[in-house]
Structure 1
Amino acid sequence: MKSDLDALMQAKNLDAILVIGNAEHNPPMYYLTGGGHVTGATLIKKRGEEAMLFCNDMEREEAAKSGLKIIPYSTYNYEALLKEAHGDPALAAAIRYKRMFTDQRVHGRVGIYGNTDLGSAFAIFTHLQRLIPEFELVGETRDDSLFMKTMETKDEAEVAHIRKMGKITTQVVGRVAEYLTSREVREDEVLLKEDGSPLTIADVKAKINLWLAELGAENPEGTIFAIGHDAGVPHSTGTPTDLLRLGQTIVFDIFPCEAGGGYFYDFTRTWCLGYAAPEAQKLYDEVKAVFDKVMENFDLNMPFKNLNRFVCEEFEGKGHKSPLNTPAPLDGYVHSLGHGLGLNVHERPWSGLTAADDNILKPGVVVTVEPGLYYPEKGMGVRIEDSVWVRPDGKAEILAEYPHDFVLKMKRWKK
């Protein structure tokens, strides 16, 4: 939580942090500002002190909505900076950072965060380190960075944002189910659009994006809507020209966020339209049984990877491969059980078998639970996923309930 930020800065021996980039679709900046139309901003926070937000003058009122103290970039005359830098914009930016640090009395080890153009950042910070050799500019790998650890637990206001996105997500999923089951079906079991032409994956995704937008959400990471062979490849997003047919497994994994790059939700259902082949039904039943066992064994403060190991053992006991004893399997259970969820669609705590022991299911985390089995050569795959909050009382709560139906009954299919 944000209240942990200073303690985590202390643990990482950081005297200050520098966050750069837009306030939207930039998790570290969004986390500290609340988002908004603020582009190319700079945030400086010293350990134990409030953050300062530097912004373009035209966006000063948007920036002020953050509640932070605002300093306009015009405080530092850009023409003078560029002249001092002999026309080099990267050096001019570095000189401005140096003056910001001086004005804010920043010193020591400074962590650098935010989403921005890598080439520009490299040029600027190369100059900056040369200009301030007494400082140590610190970068981190993303998965265990300061912000990943700070954002790992959520307060109730953050959970409310995720819960709201869960409601929107399940509304859209319900609309998709209603739309699909209301289609006319051709003799060869292909679903038809209103105009009588075949319904494709691209057609369904267009409706998903429209319905998300109507409900105030964005879909920056895309949607997995994959049928048949593609359903057997976990992160295949689906072939746009594939036709929707009865009896084939459809993996529908949807992970939208609040407009402006806010909090995500993550949700998956697997469907067969009209009927399911016995082999597909068996696969689904095995995944659902494991999903239910995971929810029953959601122990407080357990390393998340322990549940993943449990899932591997369960699936291997049913004859499927898993990462526990098969390096990088391409069929069976091929991924980890889940991940944290928040301003990033994937964040701490991690559940991979090699994850550190401090990735635990402690109060305040929101995680996905998404066991699955995949057999692309058999033209099938199954995944079930819900997003779960570990509440302050230690209980696990699914944040958006939705039925786990596998076979969806067609309303206009003439068998």
Structure 2
Amino acid sequence: MRQDLDRLMKEQGLAGLVVFAYDRYSPAMYYATGQKLHFGVYFRTADGGAHLIHDPMERDQAAQVGCDHSSFPQHRLNQLIDQEGHPARGFGRLIADGCATLGMRGRVAIFGELAAGFAHTLLARALEVSPALEIDARHPDIMALARMTKDPAEIEAIRRAAKGAVAAIERLRDFLRSLHRDGEHFRHNGSGPVALGEIRRLLQSEFLAHGLAEDGESIVSQGRDAGVPHNRGNDADLLRAGTPLLIDIFPCEAGGGYHSDLTRTFCLGKPPEELKKLYADVHDAFHLGMEKLEIGAPCRAIQEEVCGLFEQRGHATTRSRDGTEEGYVHGLGHGVGLSVHEAPRLGGPASNLQRLEHGMVITVEPGLYYPSRGLGVRIEDLVLAHPDGRFENLTPASYELEIEPEG
């Protein structure tokens, strides 16, 4: 949780942290300050001292952070950049000077979304100016550790996003039921054949109605494309009968913020027996994963249980065949928050020793993928771990595979 940052800095012997938002939305800046500042440098010491240097155009948001703040012109930023001959060197010097002013000496955690070369130049210059500084390189870093669990305000934001995701899936289900079959394809209200792009636009409109937006591109794929887990689908493809239609949506608060994550697999018309069997196996694995959730349980152990079920039913898994591209090819889940994929991971290498804790918001998303056979199935829900040991499903959309159009 956000309030854990100071404790984590002290436990890990850090002098402080620095967050740099370089003219774009920064999840790290939003997390540290509670404001969507796009251009600024935030300093926080391990004992709670803080200062924000900001763009004067964002002075109103800066005032809401609740700490001392000053503007870039007050620090003569443009003159620093001219003297240094490179923006990264100028910001490196600014950061070194800010750390010195706040008495930061020793290891400092630094966060931001920067090109690698720019970040390297910035950090090198900061260490030149202030040799007393050392860059913290631990993994996981304190931001990742803090963000693994959510406070009540974060949970409420995720609930709102999850509510919008469920509404979008149920609206899609109603739309699919309303279609008119025309051979192997479908029409809507006398229009031409429905393409996957129409489905994508329907989902986007429902996100907007709930104050949400896509972060990246939702997955709307069918057939062979559904068999490659993160294939986004081809909007020009016509919706086909008897084929898996995989919908994976992860909307977030419009303008940046907290996410949801939800996947359902549909089939319009009677599904072939092979698809029905795959869906049943995935559905059973989903319920097994949900049943095995327990506060204190090793995150990776739940993945092992699901691998065992799939292997018993004849499917390759990442455990039985490393690098497999057919069968069960990914981990069981991940944390969700300001990023759609964040810690903890329900899977990964043997070095993943993280255990489930209350306050975590995680996905449970087993899937089976056979692109060579034109098949792919995934079921995914978002789950909140409560202090009393309960695991609450935040995305309780229905799970029916088969949809028989009524038109």
TM-score w.r.t. the length of structure 2 is: 0.95
User: Is 1:225 aligned to 2:223, yes or no?
Assistant: no
User: Is 1:2 aligned to 2:2, yes or no?
Assistant: yes
Q: Residues of 1 paired with 2:137 and 2:173: CA distance?
A: 45
Q: Residues of 2 paired with 1:224 and 1:183: CA distance?
A: 21
Q: Residue 273 of structure 2 aligns to which amino acid in structure 1?
A: P
Q: Which of 89, 102, 105 is the aligned partner of 2:103?
A: 105
Q: Residues of 2 paired with 1:22 and 1:165: CA distance?
A: 27
Map of 1:238 onto structure 2: 233
Map of 2:68 onto structure 1: 69
Percent of matched pairs sharing the same residue: 34
Map of 1:114 onto structure 2: 112
Size of the aligned set, in residue pairs, is: 407
Contact 1:388/1:397 (<8 A) preserved: yes
Q: C-alpha offsets along residues 210-238 of structure 1, whole Å, 9 cap, x if unaligned?
A: 32123211112210111011111111111
Map of 1:78 onto structure 2: 77
Alpha carbons of structure 1 residues 53 and 247: separation in structure 2 relative to 1, 3 Å: same
Q: Residues of 1 paired with 2:371 and 2:82: CA distance?
A: 61
Q: Which of 139, 147, 152 is the aligned partner of 1:151?
A: 147
For 1:306-385, list aligned pairs within 5 A.
306-385=301-380
Q: Residues of 1 paired with 2:288 and 2:382: CA distance?
A: 16
Contact 2:226/2:375 (<8 A) preserved: yes
Q: Residues of 2 paired with 1:82 and 1:25: CA distance?
A: 22
Q: C-alpha offsets along residues 341-392 of structure 1, whole Å, 9 cap, x if unaligned?
A: 1111111111224154542111111110001111111111111100111101
Contact 1:98/1:132 (<8 A) preserved: yes
Q: Secondary structure at the match of 1:394?
A: coil
Q: Residues of 2 paired with 1:291 and 1:81: CA distance?
A: 56
1:6 shift after superposition: 2.1
Map of 1:91 onto structure 2: 89
For 1:16-415, list aligned pairs within 5 A.
16-21=16-21, 25-36=25-36, 38-82=37-81, 84-85=83-84, 87-139=85-137, 144-186=140-182, 188-194=183-189, 196-412=191-407
Q: Residues of 2 paired with 1:209 and 1:392: CA distance?
A: 34
Q: Residues of 1 paired with 2:393 and 2:337: CA distance?
A: 15
Alpha carbons of structure 1 residues 410 and 193: separation in structure 2 relative to 1, 3 Å: closer
1:24 shift after superposition: 6.6
Q: Secondary structure at the match of 1:312?
A: helix
Q: Residue 377 of structure 2 aligns to which amino acid in structure 1?
A: V
Unaligned runs of 5+ in 1: none
Q: Residues of 1 paired with 2:79 and 2:288: CA distance?
A: 65
Q: Residues of 2 paired with 1:91 and 1:340: CA distance?
A: 35
Contact 2:26/2:38 (<8 A) preserved: no
Q: Secondary structure at the match of 2:225?
A: helix
Contact 2:316/2:327 (<8 A) preserved: yes
Q: Residues of 2 paired with 1:355 and 1:46: CA distance?
A: 34
Contact 1:322/1:333 (<8 A) preserved: yes
1:307 shift after superposition: 0.6
Contact 1:112/1:139 (<8 A) preserved: no
Q: Secondary structure at the match of 2:57?
A: helix
CA RMSD of aligned residues (A): 1.9
Alpha carbons of structure 1 residues 255 and 25: separation in structure 2 relative to 1, 3 Å: farther
Unaligned runs of 5+ in 2: none
Q: C-alpha offsets along residues 96-144 of structure 1, whole Å, 9 cap, x if unaligned?
A: 2232223222222111111133333222222222122222123455xx2
Alpha carbons of structure 1 residues 261 and 22: separation in structure 2 relative to 1, 3 Å: farther
Q: C-alpha offsets along residues 74-108 of structure 1, whole Å, 9 cap, x if unaligned?
A: 221234424543x4433332332232223222222
Q: Residues of 2 paired with 1:195 and 1:25: CA distance?
A: 43
1:400 shift after superposition: 2.4
Q: Residues of 2 paired with 1:355 and 1:192: CA distance?
A: 49
Alpha carbons of structure 1 residues 24 and 173: separation in structure 2 relative to 1, 3 Å: farther
Q: Residues of 2 paired with 1:363 and 1:284: CA distance?
A: 30
Q: Residues of 1 paired with 2:358 and 2:308: CA distance?
A: 26
Map of 1:13 onto structure 2: 13
TM-score w.r.t. the length of structure 1 is: 0.93
Contact 1:33/1:66 (<8 A) preserved: yes
